[in-house]
């Protein structure tokens, strides 16, 4: 007698049943829309060997490999992991974070979107919730990623400062401003702060650096796209730093987890329960007064450390796994790893093993340090 397949459990790991019996489409995790050439090569090889030689590119920067036989799924995931490719999720949980290329590539970008996408993904990816929950990160007001279509959308902006003594009154910034927020009056620039949308075009266009811009985050809440379309709303001023940003995103996702009904999107929850309490919690988080900022800076003592910067996938995870297996339940391991595939895959693999990732820190030298608490079965 054939063993019954638990398709609901498989869907949790990104495997979606097809109309063709015995086949499914496997969703891959493409954080921030980025894959390495090695990742792409691995995906192509897997699609050729186990699928039908092609992949589907989704509307949220993801990749799906159709026509994967259910009995070969474990083998497929192992082959992908060897090439540094993880699988996505489906159902009522936090989806893979999407992002545009941001300031590291795009001249218009105000923030490093890919780094932020990785941090958000590590913080929330796969978290069980009443319904699916999406984050999107876009680098500027051009809004290529359509941030407001997400449950939480993050858009890069700038807090601007005008240095009159450095200005040569050329008027370039006035022409660059699309909001009619700048005017030249008697040879001097006047700013209408009510019209300014923090796009930073004045900063980027000024030939003498008379405008100074400090990057920040414009956050919208409750966006949806599909059967019901709703543009997310901006409920806070420009957020000046990541510490504040993560307090705010924690507050949003915690509110949804606490108040949402099963199969209810964030927008529907806000409409049903009202926004007054949510706005109050956002304000507390913005001002650093929230009581539920459970993901804020953590105080803990590291039990052991391991450096995996000398390894390549899949040996990166193997070395980290061996190190954490030597610890006792509840002890904490610090893992130093290179940016790129290790950051994308080692934390995710630790979570899949059941351990608790506490923090991921950018060392600003091309490496990251992950702090993970051992959780025994």
The predicted model gives 167-176 an average pLDDT of: 96
The predicted model gives 24-41 an average pLDDT of: 96
Residue 216: pLDDT band by 50, 70, 90 thresholds?
Answer: very high
If you average pLDDT over every residue of the chain, what do you get?
A: 92
Bridge partner list, 332? 373
Same domain for 125 and 173: yes
Same domain for 237 and 159: yes
67: CB partners within 8 A, 6+ apart: 18, 20, 23, 25, 51, 52
Of the candidates 338, 345, 336, 334, the one whose C-alpha atom is nearest the C-alpha of residue 373 is: 334
Same domain for 277 and 136: yes
What is the predicted pLDDT for the residue at 235? 96
Domain total of the chain = 3
376: CB partners within 8 A, 6+ apart: 329
What kind and span of H or E run contains 254?
helix 242-259
Q: What is the DSSP letter of 105?
A: T
Give the integer Cα–Cα distance in Å for 133 and 97: 10
Same domain for 129 and 255: yes
Q: To the nearest whole percent, how much of the chain has pLDDT over 90? A: 81
Residue 359: pLDDT band by 50, 70, 90 thresholds?
Answer: confident
What is the predicted pLDDT for the residue at 2? 58
Establish if 294 belongs to a structural domain.
no
Establish if 91 belongs to a structural domain.
no
What is the predicted pLDDT for the residue at 8? 86
Same domain for 276 and 145: yes
Same domain for 164 and 32: no
Give the integer Cα–Cα distance in Å for 114 and 112: 6
CATH of the domain at 341: 3.30.110.40
Same domain for 335 and 207: no
What kind and span of H or E run contains 182?
strand 182-185
Domain boundary residue, one of 286, 321, 347: 286
- pLDDT (tens digit per residue) in 296-323: 444 578 999 999 999 888 889 999 999 9
Establish if 198 belongs to a structural domain.
yes
Cis ω for the linkage preceding 153 (within 30 of 0): no
What is the predicted pLDDT for the residue at 289? 64
The predicted model gives 122-135 an average pLDDT of: 95
Confirm whether 199 is a catalytic residue. Answer: no
In which domain, by residue range, is 149 found?
Answer: 98-286
Establish if 259 belongs to a structural domain.
yes
Same domain for 105 and 77: no
Same domain for 122 and 209: yes
Same domain for 16 and 43: yes
Establish if 199 belongs to a structural domain.
yes
Establish if 31 belongs to a structural domain.
yes
Same domain for 245 and 189: yes
**66 pLDDT exceeds 80?**
yes
Q: What are phi and psi of 281, to 5 degrees?
A: -70, -35
**294 pLDDT exceeds 50?**
no
What is the predicted pLDDT for the residue at 328? 92
Establish if 270 belongs to a structural domain.
yes
**79 pLDDT exceeds 70?**
yes
Strands of 304-307's sheet, edge to edge? Answer: 304-307, 332-338, 367-373, 356-362
**290 pLDDT exceeds 70?**
no
Establish if 153 belongs to a structural domain.
yes
Residue 3: pLDDT band by 50, 70, 90 thresholds?
Answer: confident
CATH of the domain at 207: 3.30.413.10
Residue 335: pLDDT band by 50, 70, 90 thresholds?
Answer: very high
Same domain for 205 and 256: yes
Of residues 110, 167, 173, 313, which has the active-site annotation? 313
CATH of the domain at 76: 3.30.70.3340
What is the predicted pLDDT for the residue at 67? 98
Domain boundary residue, one of 251, 286, 321: 286
What is the predicted pLDDT for the residue at 299? 59
Question: Please, is 319 exposed, middle or buried when counting C-beta atoms within 10 Å of its C-beta (0-12, 13-18, 19+)?
Answer: middle
- pLDDT (tens digit per residue) in 225-272: 988 899 999 999 999 999 999 999 999 999 999 999 999 999 999 999
């Amino acid at each position: 007698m054939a063993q019954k397949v638990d398709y609901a459990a498989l869907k949790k790991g990104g495997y979606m049943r097809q109309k063709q019996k015995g086949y499914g489409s496997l969703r891959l995790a493409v954080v921030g829309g980025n894959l390495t050439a090695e990742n792409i090569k691995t995906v192509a090889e897997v699609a050729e060997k186990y699928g039908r030689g092609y992949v589907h590119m989704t509307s949220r920067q993801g990749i799906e490999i159709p026509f994967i036989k259910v009995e070969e799924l474990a083998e497929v995931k192992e082959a992908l992991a060897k090439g540094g490719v993880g699988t996505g999720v489906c159902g009522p949980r936090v989806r893979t974070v999407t992002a545009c290329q941001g300031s590291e590539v795009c001249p218009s970008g105000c923030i490093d979107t890919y780094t932020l996408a990785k941090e958000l993904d590590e913080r929330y990816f796969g978290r069980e919730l009443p319904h699916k929950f999406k984050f999107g990160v876009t680098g500027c007001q051009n809004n290529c990623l359509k941030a407001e279509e997400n449950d939480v959308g993050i858009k890069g902006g700038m807090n601007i400062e005008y240095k009159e003594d450095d200005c040569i009154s050329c008027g370039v910034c006035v022409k660059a401003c699309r909001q009619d927020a700048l005017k030249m009056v008697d040879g001097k620039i006047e700013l209408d702060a009510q019209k300014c949308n923090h796009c930073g075009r004045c900063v980027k266009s000024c030939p003498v650096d008379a405008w100074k811009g400090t990057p920040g985050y414009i956050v919208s809440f409750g966006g949806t796209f599909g059967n019901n379309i709703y543009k997310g709303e901006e409920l806070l001023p420009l957020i000046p730093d990541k510490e504040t940003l993560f307090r705010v995103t924690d507050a949003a996702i915690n509110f949804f987890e606490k108040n949402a009904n099963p199969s209810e999107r964030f927008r529907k929850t806000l409409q049903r329960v009202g926004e007054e309490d949510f706005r109050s919690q956002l304000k507390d988080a913005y001002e650093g007064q929230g009581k539920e900022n459970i993901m804020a800076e953590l105080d803990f003592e590291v039990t052991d450390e391991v450096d995996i910067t000398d390894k390549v996938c899949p040996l990166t995870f193997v070395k980290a796994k061996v190190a954490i297996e030597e610890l006792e339940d509840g002890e904490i391991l610090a893992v130093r790893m290179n940016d790129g595939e290790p950051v994308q895959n080692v934390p995710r693999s630790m979570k899949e093993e059941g351990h608790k990732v506490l923090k991921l820190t950018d060392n600003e030298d091309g490496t990251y340090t992950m702090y993970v608490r051992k959780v025994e079965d």
